Structure 1
Amino acid sequence: MAEATRSDGRLPVIILGGFLGAGKSTWLRHQLHEGRFAGYHLLVNEAAETPVDNLLLSGARKISVLAGGCACCAGLPDLLATLRALCDAASGKEAGRIAGILLETSGLADPGRIAAAMAEDPVLSRRLVLDQTLVLVDSLHGVQQLTAEDLARAQIEAADELILTKPAAADPVTLARLALSLSVLNPGAMLSAAEQGVAVPLPEPVPGLAPLDLPALGRSEPILPYRLDVGRDGGWVALSTWLSALLHARGDDIVRIKGVVRTPAGRLLLQSVRRVVQSPEILPDDDEALAGPAPEEGVIVLIGRGMDAERLALSWRRFGT
């Protein structure tokens, strides 16, 4: 990993990708804690208009948030404009202070499309160099994603390094088959594993185990973010009960939930992947201790397929009042 100034003066760019809920922010937080990517300017992209992932990255030297559009499509113009501005800053007042740029993509982004857009831009192609594309793969949901999501396959095929996350909770044989399948999909990529950002050994090969049989996929309904205002008045018991019922009924359609809510214990960062709800994390009340824009309390973002924003809001109002 090149983290020193290049002799040609171009800024190295690292793309961090992976499907929704793969654990990109968790992995990156640990790397920052360990001193990796020192001097890098972090760009955090979120498809939803309410940014959350930046709250985990307080160890960053400098961070910018690109919210409200995926960086490989709707948010691409903003991304390119931000990259040009960082190039200008690195040649001006920030000269010698920016070691590189790390882009944490939205879980809906195709890193290959971002890399192509950078290479085709007449300014960025001269000022930046793509150093590495890291793609995280969720050990718990990777098999389902590979068999059902073209995007998950495209992310893996674009990677220089694939990192299996959450391996401790995965079935060993399923994990071994996933690792084998990743090596078949992208034989040129380095393969590693990490638990909460800490490197761990890869799963042991299973003799006679075959990779996944990955069928051709047709068009599917798009995955979209939905914003839901649940209020700032607490109501944690009602909210947690309602979310549990929602995930039980629609867990196959809801890929990701995240948001910040006020509870008697303080501000909680709430996150889930499919039906797996992560332990809520207490955030400091001082916004200055957080990275990027202050969180929008009382708002959660649901990312999935086939949901109706009005029906979600109506369901919550009926349950929460």
Structure 2
Amino acid sequence: MSDARRGGRLPLVILGGFLGAGKSTWLRHQLHEGRFARHLLLVNEAAETPVDNLLLGGAAEVTVLAGGCACCEGRAQLAAALRTICERTSGAEAGAIEGILLETSGLADPGAIAALVAADPVLARRLVVAETLVLVDALHGPSQLATEPLARAQIEAAGRLVVTKPAAAEPEATARLAATLRLLAPGAEISAAEMGEQVPLPAMEADPLPLPSLTRTAPIRPHRLQVGAEGGWIALSTWLSALLQARGEDVVRVKGVVRTPAGRLLLQSVRRVVQPPEILPEGADLPGPAPEEGTLVLIGRNIDEDRLARSWAIYGA
């Protein structure tokens, strides 16, 4: 990165990975360890309700790009934000930051973002893609590679791959996943991390997973569900568990902030796995926009928002 600075261009780190890969958790640990302390963080959320920025309290500065994936609907917004940062950090403010780290949405193709920077005459002159880092969920990664073209494209674009949540998968399954990643991205460095902390990959020989030909599927889209700003936590948790059991293949990701007797809870799930809710401190200076309490973001395919709202209205009444 220092070489890039001496060349007069600001380094850009692209952090990618499929929905639920653990990008914010991984980045949160890096910030806690002092890495990227002088990087400006850009957090891209496909949904209009930002949530991931709430995990990045250790960042020096966070800018949220919400309401569109940075490699497609949000391309213009991303390009404008990057140009603004370049202007801000030139002249008297040159050296104020060491670089930019872009945490992409789980629906983004890092290769398309790198191509956007290279094709823009201003950004190509002012930025250099220093690293493309992609996270892969040890538990859900194998099924994603078997069914999702985007998951493969993300890995193929990576210069460094991190297998996350290895404790949730069998060692042999993780070893096979790692072998598959080496096949898809032969030049990438591969490591593993649990809650952001580096851990060893399984030390065993394993065959790559089969990679079947992929067929066209319905697009994955974000959806909002109003569940109420106060109360109803028991009903909500029961309803959500039932929904994920019934529609876990379609509802890829759920995240949101809800009010409970214990305080504000950050609620997240990946497929049918609900992560332990995290209490957000009251009155804390959280990076980016304030959380929108009582709104869940459900990201998936074949989701009917009206039907979802009617289901919750009946259950949560």
**1:200-235 Cα shifts (integer Å, max 9, x gaps):** 0011123xx321110121211000001001001211
- For the residue of structure 1 that corresponds to 2:93, the secondary structure is coil
The answer to whether the 8 A contact 2:11-2:99 is kept is yes
Matched, 1:319 2:312: no
Give the aligned partner of residue 288 of structure 2.
292
Give the aligned partner of residue 245 of structure 1.
242
- The equivalences for 1:115-134 within 5 A come to 115-134=114-133
Aligned residue among 218, 221, 228 for 2:215: 218
**1:105-136 Cα shifts (integer Å, max 9, x gaps):** 00000000000010000000000000000000
Deviates more, 1:164-173 or 1:18-27: 164-173
Instruction: Flag the 1:43–1:129 CA change in 2: closer, same or farther, 3 A.
Output: same
Aligned residue among 261, 273, 278 for 1:276: 273
- For the residue of structure 1 that corresponds to 2:225, the secondary structure is strand
Report the identity percentage. Answer: 69
**1:2-38 Cα shifts (integer Å, max 9, x gaps):** 3687112210000000000000000000000000012
Structure 1: 4+ residue segments shifted above 2 A = 2-5, 92-95
The answer to whether the 8 A contact 1:232-1:298 is kept is yes
Give the aligned partner of residue 171 of structure 2.
172
Letter in 2 for 1:231: G
**Unpaired segments ≥5 residues, structure 1:** none
Give the aligned partner of residue 10 of structure 2.
11
Matched, 1:151 2:147: no
Count the aligned residue pairs: 317
Q: Measure how far apart 1:95 and its partner are.
A: 2.3
- For the residue of structure 2 that corresponds to 1:6, the secondary structure is helix
Letter in 1 for 2:300: G
Question: In structure 2, what is the Cα distance between the partners aligned to 1:4 and 1:101?
Answer: 15
Letter in 1 for 2:211: L
Instruction: Flag the 1:3–1:257 CA change in 2: closer, same or farther, 3 A.
Output: farther
Give the aligned partner of residue 73 of structure 1.
72
Question: In structure 2, what is the Cα distance between the partners aligned to 1:96 and 1:189?
Answer: 29
Give the aligned partner of residue 225 of structure 2.
228
Aligned residue among 297, 306, 312 for 1:310: 306
Deviates more, 1:216-225 or 1:18-27: 216-225
The answer to whether the 8 A contact 2:4-2:128 is kept is no
Question: In structure 2, what is the Cα distance between the partners aligned to 1:311 and 1:3?
Answer: 53
Question: In structure 2, what is the Cα distance between the partners aligned to 1:287 and 1:77?
Answer: 32
**1:233-273 Cα shifts (integer Å, max 9, x gaps):** 21100000100110111011110000000000000000000
Give the aligned partner of residue 62 of structure 1.
61
Give the aligned partner of residue 204 of structure 2.
205
**TM-score with structure 2 setting the length:** 0.98
Instruction: Flag the 1:14–1:239 CA change in 2: closer, same or farther, 3 A.
Output: same
Give the aligned partner of residue 88 of structure 1.
87
- For the residue of structure 1 that corresponds to 2:50, the secondary structure is coil
Q: Measure how far apart 1:281 and its partner are.
A: 0.2
The answer to whether the 8 A contact 1:4-1:99 is kept is no
